């Protein structure tokens, strides 16, 4: 075994799994394009302040999990732990506010120093969608409709559940925060270390605690829905009415909060019971104050991100990543191999999936072609006069027909 191994929490995406990743990305991208979302790509690393300001110092992504380092210029740099902050930073620094409303789609690797486990890696992949500049609850509905469409197109709708909640506006959150702190303060000494810190800075995050004792304490905590003002209640009602109108099933989860500090109003997760503890496959919500936090004008925002690694776990085993069987070109003779490569190149330039075999005897090459699922193969035989004989082999019937190369290419190209 080589002494050089991949870093813990990372993995090589070998061809089989990479095919699944490619299918997921292409499905998501094509669906997002149908909804008017345009693709954006931001740098893998940003100045650390982008994430520290946007995600909040009490979020795990900042306090425990970021890959942060000082570069040679003395700047603090952080590998992106999520996609939204970078998109919003781009929105501000590139002066995109004049183009609102904007609907943006992204895909790429993210980095968090977490304990690796099934479905969780330190380098992981997400695709996401962001809508900037629309205050209407219907923007939330459209974002959720896009997420649901992608899940349906990946044939996962029967295996996922949309859980949704509201965090209300600032007035509602302040009222709820006071009630929650009042409830939790008598339990302060029983809370986990992290929850004690959150009690002072962001008590709502305690509802999201993974500590078993914390979970017991918050079971009887007051519910956000009892502290919503009229504006927040109407906003949430309008979102739910929109989902019902579009036929998108959902479950209200009154304990659902998001792990990042910038969310308000609608928060949601698409979850599955098939991945153990890593149940969330797509998460997001509304973040109306984030653009201002990063120095931009007052701008509404709503969006989500999906975990490609987890989606691949769900749809990978049953996914037919190569539905079109190849046309194989099988050469018999050294000079015939060069001729076969020329034929294969011609077919590939016509956007045909074509395989050629450069090793093994003629019989072994035919076995390899059959194993790949080839239905038709072009056989090239070297002749004593320096020319070639061409045959078209039908693997289903075993029939081999001799013909001119021109006619054989016409047959395979038009089928």
Burial of residue 202 (number of CB atoms within 10 Å: 0-12, 13-18, 19+): middle
The predicted structure's pLDDT at residue 342? 94
The predicted structure's pLDDT at residue 60? 55
In angstroms, the Cα distances linking 10 to 13, 123, 227 are: 9, 5, 43
The predicted structure's pLDDT at residue 256? 85
Same domain, 271 and 399: no
Same domain, 355 and 242: no
Secondary structure letter of residue 117 according to DSSP: B
Rounded to two decimals, the pTM is: 0.86
User: Order of strands, edge to edge, in the sheet holding 301-307?
Assistant: 38-39, 102-111, 123-132, 301-307, 280-286, 264-271, 161-166, 251-252
| 234: its two tokens | 């109407």
List the beta strands (DSSP E) in 112-211.
123-132, 161-166
Q: Which of 315, 338, 369 is the last residue of a domain?
A: 315
Contact 55, 39 (CB under 8 A): no
| 101: its two tokens | 């409303």
Same domain, 409 and 331: yes
How many helices and strands (H and E) does the chain possess?
Answer: 14, 16
* Degrees, nearest 5: CA angle 166-171-172: 35
CATH code, domain with 392: 3.40.50.800
DSSP 3-state assignment of 183?
A: helix
With respect to residue 242, please indicate whether it lies within any of the assigned structural domains.
yes
Contact 376, 394 (CB under 8 A): yes
The predicted structure's pLDDT at residue 276? 75
Strands 102-111 and 38-39: parallel
With respect to residue 9, please indicate whether it lies within any of the assigned structural domains.
no
Same domain, 260 and 343: no
CATH code, domain with 130: 3.30.930.10
- Residue 45: Cβ within 10 Å count: 18
User: How many domains, the chain?
Assistant: 2
- Residue 245: Cβ within 10 Å count: 10
Question: Which residues in the chain land under pLDDT 50?
Answer: none
Between CA 30 and CA 37 the distance in angstroms is: 10
Secondary structure letter of residue 326 according to DSSP: P
DSSP 3-state assignment of 327?
A: strand
With respect to residue 393, please indicate whether it lies within any of the assigned structural domains.
yes
* Best CA proximity match to 88, nearest among 288, 306, 308: 288
Between CA 57 and CA 52 the distance in angstroms is: 6
Q: Using one digit for the tens of pLDDT, what is the confidence trace for 317-375?
A: 666 655 678 999 999 988 899 999 999 999 999 989 999 999 989 999 999 999 988 99
Domain holding 118, by residue range, is: 15-169+229-315
Same domain, 304 and 333: no
């Amino acid at each position: 075994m080589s002494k050089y191994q991949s870093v813990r929490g990372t993995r090589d995406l070998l061809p089989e799994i990479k095919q699944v990743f490619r299918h997921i990305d292409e499905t998501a991208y094509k669906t997002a394009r149908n909804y008017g979302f345009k693709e954006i790509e931001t740098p893998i690393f940003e100045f650390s302040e982008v994430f520290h300001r946007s995600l909040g110092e009490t979020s795990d992504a900042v306090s425990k999990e970021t890959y942060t380092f000082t570069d040679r210029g003395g700047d603090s740099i952080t590998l992106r732990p999520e996609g939204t902050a970078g998109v919003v930073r781009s929105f501000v620094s590139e002066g995109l506010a004049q183009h609102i409303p904007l609907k943006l789609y992204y895909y790429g690797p993210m980095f968090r120093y977490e304990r690796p486990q099934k479905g969780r890696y330190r380098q992981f992949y997400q695709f996401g969608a962001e809508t900037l500049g629309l205050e209407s609850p219907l923007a939330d509905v459209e974002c959720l409709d896009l997420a649901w469409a992608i899940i349906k197109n990946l044939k996962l709708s029967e295996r996922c559940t949309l859980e949704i909640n509201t965090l209300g506006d600032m007035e509602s959150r302040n009222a709820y925060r006071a009630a929650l702190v009042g409830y939790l303060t008598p339990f302060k000494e029983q809370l986990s270390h992290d929850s004690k810190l959150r009690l002072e800075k962001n008590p709502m995050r305690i509802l999201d605690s993974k500590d078993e004792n914390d979970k017991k304490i918050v079971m009887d905590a007051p519910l956000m829905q009892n502290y919503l003002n009229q504006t927040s209640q109407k906003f949430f009602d309008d979102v739910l009415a929109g989902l019902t109108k579009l036929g998108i099933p959902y479950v209200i989860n009154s304990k659902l909060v998001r792990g990042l500090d910038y969310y308000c109003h609608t928060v949601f997760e698409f979850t599955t019971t098939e991945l153990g503890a890593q149940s969330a496959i797509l998460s997001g919500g509304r973040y109306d104050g984030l653009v201002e936090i990063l120095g931009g004008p007052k701008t509404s925002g709503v969006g989500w991100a999906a975990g490609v690694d987890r989606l691949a776990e769900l749809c990978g085993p049953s996914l037919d990543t190569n539905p079109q069987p190849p046309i194989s070109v099988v050469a018999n003779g050294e000079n015939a191999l060069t001729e076969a490569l020329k034929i294969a190149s011609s077919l590939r330039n016509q956007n045909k999936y074509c395989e050629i075999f450069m090793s093994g005897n003629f019989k072994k090459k035919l076995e390899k072609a059959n194993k790949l699922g080839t239905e038709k193969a072009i056989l090239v035989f070297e002749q004593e006069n320096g020319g070639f004989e061409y045959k078209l082999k039908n693997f289903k019937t075993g029939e081999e027909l001799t013909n001119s190369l021109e006619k054989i290419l016409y047959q395979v190209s038009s089928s």
